[in-house]
Each structure stands twice: as structure tokens, then as C-alpha cells.
Amino acid sequence: MDPELEVELAAGDRAWAELVAVLDAADPSRPLHDPDSPHWTSRDVYTHFVHMHQASTQAIRAEMQGQSVDWEPEDTAQRITKMERRNDARVDGDRRHSLEQQASALAHESRDVYRDLMCNLITDQWRAFGRKHSDDLLGGHYRGHLRYIQGAER
């Protein structure tokens, strides 16, 4: 593994652990983000990261096969999340808690797949295309959501 990636992965792991602690402690029926951000629950945030992790994993695999990737994972994830939020309005409390647990498990699983793939990139691959698909894994996106949540707590 590229030594630079190893250091950055450790920072991303810490940011993920911090975000997970906040999400797991949250009431699954209440929005977490500040008023100027989407009114997402912890399940919405977890689901968002499932989509982001999967999109990044797919992009890296495509790049490994020599395909150029030009995608906007954020747009895709937001469309899916909006659709899920409309469906959530019809879900009762017990079912919502079950969905929260499923979303958390899927987010952890998708992150593990994404992380393993990144760890197996050779230095040339990391420098050629790994970095451009690494924001979630290296913590930037996780820290962004932590800032939204901390803004709402004020």
C-alpha cells in the first residue's frame, strides 16, 4: 500500500468512527443536520454513504479496467435518498428502527468493500485514479456530515 494512503486511511477511519458514534446515538426519527442542510435522519446519512461507497467502488473497478470514469456520485445518492425519504413518511416507528439498523449494517459493509479495494491499489493506481475516488474513505465527506450535525446542535 502506498505510504501516503496508509496515513490518510487512518484519518478516514477515525472520522468514520466519530460519525458512526454520533449516528448510532441519535434518535432515528429526528433530523440531524442543521436547518440549512437536508433534514436527514441517521438512517438517511447511513443510506447516503451506502450509495457513495458503492459508487466509488464501482468507479475504482472501472478505472482498474482502463475505463475513464466521469460521474457525479453525489447527484445519484441525493436522488435515491429523496425517494427513500418520501417512502419513510409512511413507515411506523418500529419499522423505522429496523430500517435504521439495516442501513447502518449496509454502510459498514459497503465501506469495508471500498476500503479493501483501495488498500489493494498499487502506488501507481493510487496516484493515477485512487485519490479522485477517495473523499469518503479518507474522511472529508464524513467530516462534512459531522459539521452539519454539530451545526444543528447549536
Residue 69 has pLDDT above 60, yes or no: yes
Nearest Cα neighbor of 149 from 30, 67, 50 is 30
- On the question of pLDDT at 56 being above 60, the answer is yes
Structural domain of 128? 3-153
Q: Rounded to 5 degrees, what are φ and ψ at 32?
A: -105, -35
CA atoms of 122 and 134, how far apart (whole Å):
14
Q: How far apart are CA 46 and CA 49, in angstroms?
A: 5
Q: List the CATH number of the domain containing 27.
A: 1.20.120
pLDDT at 6 exceeding the cut of 80? yes
**Could you report the per-residue pLDDT of 18-44, keeping only the tens digit for each?**
999 999 998 887 888 767 766 788 888
Residue 28 contacts by C-beta under 8 Å, 6 or more apart in sequence? 41, 42, 43, 96, 97, 100
* CA–centroid distance for 119 within its chain: 17
| Angle CA 8–17–26, to nearest 5 | 145
Give the chain's domain count. Answer: 1
> Over the stretch 121-131, which tens digit does the pLDDT of each residue have?
988 998 888 88
Question: What is the per-residue pLDDT for 13?
Answer: 96
The confidence score (pLDDT) of residue 64 equals 92
Closest CA to 54 of 132, 123, 128, 137: 137
pLDDT of residue 89: 46
Average pLDDT of the chain, as a whole number: 80
Task: Give pLDDT, residue 131.
Answer: 86
Percent of the chain clearing pLDDT 90 (strictly above): 25
Residue 110 pLDDT: 93
Q: pLDDT for 78-107, tens place per residue?
A: 555 554 555 444 444 444 455 677 889 999
